[in-house]
Amino acid sequence: MMQFSRGEVERYLSMVGDENPLHSSIVPGQFIVERCMATLGVSWSHFTVKYRKSIMIDEKLSIQNTDAQTIHILNQSQEVTIQIYKN
């Protein structure tokens, strides 16, 4: 399981200089992708990300490594929120 607290998001936004007002309630997609890949120990040099649904702060997520070249991040309803594909 993966989850992002308000404090974690605020620290990330400060670190990357992101001032997007949407990120006061929505977790930045790149932050999610970075954490997911670190959690799985994935170090692909080239990949494509498709953002399907917004992820709210404190929302519980799961990671589904469907095969050696595809990762899905799912919300509590098991909907795919982010897809990551190795190029």
DSSP string, 3-70: ---HHHHHHHHHHHT---GGGGTB--HHHHHHHHHHHHT---SSEEEEE-S--BTT--BEEEEEETTE
CATH of the structural domain 6-86, one choice from 3.40.710.10, 3.20.20.70, 3.10.129.10, 3.40.50.1370: 3.10.129.10
Average pLDDT score over the chain: 95
Look at residue 13 in the predicted model and tell me its pLDDT. 95
The first and second tokens of residue 23, run together, are 């990120």
Q: Please enumerate, as own/partner, the contacts of 69-72 that have beta carbons within 8 Å and a separation of 24 or more.
A: 71/36, 71/37, 71/40, 71/42
Kindly report whether the global pTM for this prediction surpasses the value 0.75. yes
The 10s digit of each residue's pLDDT in 19-57 is 988 888 999 999 999 999 999 999 999 999 999 999 999
Domain boundaries defined on the chain:
6-86
